[in-house]
Amino acid sequence: MDGTLATAQDGGGTMTTRTVLFSIGLAMMAAMPARASAWELFRSENGDVREGNELLAAGDHAGALAAYDRAARALPSEAGVHLDRGLALLAAGQLDPAREALRLATEPPASREIRGAAHYNLGLAFYQQADAAAGEENHEEAQRLFREAADAFRSSLRQVPGNRDAGWNLELALRRIREQEEQQQQQDQQEQQDQQDQQQQDQQDQQQQDQQDQQQQDQQDQQQQDQQDQQQQDQQDQQQDQQDSQQQDQQDDSSDSGERDDQQQQDSQDSQQPGESPEGQREDQPSGESESEASGTQERSLPPDMERVLDALQDGEENLERSMARARGQREQRRVERDW
């Protein structure tokens, strides 16, 4: 088989006196190459039928269809009129209306020849629709329509067993069914593979997104931790500064207090004169009674500053004051400084 679909048929065999042999091919239907056929349009005494036949032969599909519509209204039970009308619709590419008209021609009491031709052309209509679906890679729909076409060609062969064109087209429809099954299987496998690839890609994208989200979360957590650490460090520094300030204030207060105590002591010592108090007499100057006792062996045991004081008493009151001042200066030098 060369894959060429046999052409449309209009009726055949030994028909009534209203039917003669005539051939129309797919040259009227540009979709398919022509293959010789031994069938002729239905003929009738009806003028609309004659006009439709003439217009269809001339390629005026719209005019032929209008004439056949008038004939169908006048002869609604005439299967041949429905057959001619279906052929005009088929030639015009109106496949769904053509199928409806051809189905009317397959019902009794139509002759076997007319029913065979109607099934045959019905198969052509299904075949063309299936071929269009296959071109759109709608393999499921193409398989369904090719099976419809194959069933129609089988029905035509049952009505007219010797119709070689019907047998040819049946084999071609079955081959196209197998092709569509294989392509459907390949398509299913490809879709399954594409689905798996998409799932893998989605998983990879999700993993990548999760990683990005985790990194972003980690960065946010780290920033929060850094802020907390900084706040804690600032608080510690502030507390340390407060402690240092308090300690410094305490040291300053202690130093000031010690200086005030020293100053008060110094002022108290400066304000005291010899003979003013018993304690002063013991610390700064010996009493008159002590002077008498200082003679002899005890005079040598007096401190040098006291000896100078006694000597100064002899030089007068003015020399006594200068000696007292020098003595105070020497004591201040010997005083141990306070360790702060």
Flag whether 266 is in a domain. no
Alpha-carbon distance 340 to 333, whole Å? 18
Flag whether 73 is in a domain. yes
Alpha-carbon distance 303 to 309, whole Å? 10
Of 150, 177, 195, the residue that ends a domain is 195
Flag whether 10 is in a domain. no
Same domain for 150 and 288: no
Same domain for 293 and 157: no
Judged by average pLDDT, the poorest of 93-107, 190-204, 240-254 is 240-254
Same domain for 78 and 178: yes
Alpha-carbon distance 127 to 330, whole Å? 139
> What letter does residue 6 receive in the DSSP assignment?
P
pLDDT above 90 as % of the chain:
53
pLDDT score at 2? 57
Same domain for 288 and 187: no
pLDDT-derived band at 251 (thresholds 50, 70, 90) equals confident
pLDDT above 70 (res 10): no
Q: In 3-state terms, what secondary structure has residue 80?
A: helix
pLDDT score at 51? 95
pLDDT (average), residues 317-327: 69
pLDDT above 80 (res 44): no
Burial of 263-280, coded b for 16+ CB within 10 Å and e otherwise, reads eeeeeeeeebebeeeeee
Alpha-carbon distance 203 to 306, whole Å? 107
Q: In 3-state terms, what secondary structure has residue 286?
A: coil
pLDDT score at 181? 97
Token pair 């002077």 is found at: 291
pLDDT score at 43? 62
Same domain for 55 and 156: yes
Tens-place pLDDT, residues 273-307:
555 444 544 444 444 554 545 445 444 566 777 77
Alpha-carbon distance 179 to 185, whole Å? 10
Same domain for 178 and 287: no
Alpha-carbon distance 183 to 138, whole Å? 10
Q: Which residues contact 266 (CB under 8 A, 6 or more apart)?
A: 332
Of 162, 195, 228, the residue that ends a domain is 195
Q: What is the number of domains present in the chain?
A: 2
pLDDT score at 334? 56
Higher pLDDT: 49 or 274? It is 49
pLDDT score at 249? 82
Alpha-carbon distance 116 to 154, whole Å? 10
pLDDT score at 36? 29
Q: Which of 81, 92, 83, 56 is nearest to 159 (CA)?
A: 83
Same domain for 291 and 164: no
Using an 8 Å Cβ cutoff, are 15 and 111 in contact? yes
- Tell me the whole-structure pTM to 2 decimals: 0.54
Same domain for 171 and 55: yes
Same domain for 284 and 190: no
pLDDT above 90 (res 41): no
Of 195, 214, 245, the residue that ends a domain is 195
Dihedral angle of Cα 186, 191, 193, 198, to the nearest 10 degrees:
160
Flag whether 273 is in a domain. no
pLDDT score at 89? 97
pLDDT score at 21? 21
> What letter does residue 4 receive in the DSSP assignment?
P
Same domain for 56 and 157: yes
Judged by average pLDDT, the poorest of 1-5, 36-40, 111-115, 240-244 is 36-40
pLDDT above 50 (res 20): no
Flag whether 325 is in a domain. yes
* Residue 8 CA to its chain's centroid (Å): 56
Q: Give the domain CATH number at 132.
A: 1.25.40.10
Tens-place pLDDT, residues 126-170:
999 999 999 999 999 999 999 999 999 999 999 999 999 999 999
pLDDT score at 255? 74
Flag whether 262 is in a domain. no
Flag whether 95 is in a domain. yes
Token pair 């005494």 is found at: 45
Q: Which of 159, 88, 168 is nearest to 127 (CA)?
A: 168
Average pLDDT, the chain: 79
Judged by average pLDDT, the poorest of 47-56, 277-286, 317-326 is 277-286
Could you tell me the residue range of the domain that residue 90 belongs to?
47-195
DSSP 45-65: S-HHHHHHHHHHHTT-HHHHH
pLDDT above 70 (res 80): yes
Taking phi first (over 0 means left), then psi (-120 to 50 degrees means alpha), and beta for anything else, what does residue 40 get?
Answer: beta
Question: Radius of gyration (Cα) for the chain, nearest Å?
Answer: 67
pLDDT score at 329? 74
Flag whether 263 is in a domain. no
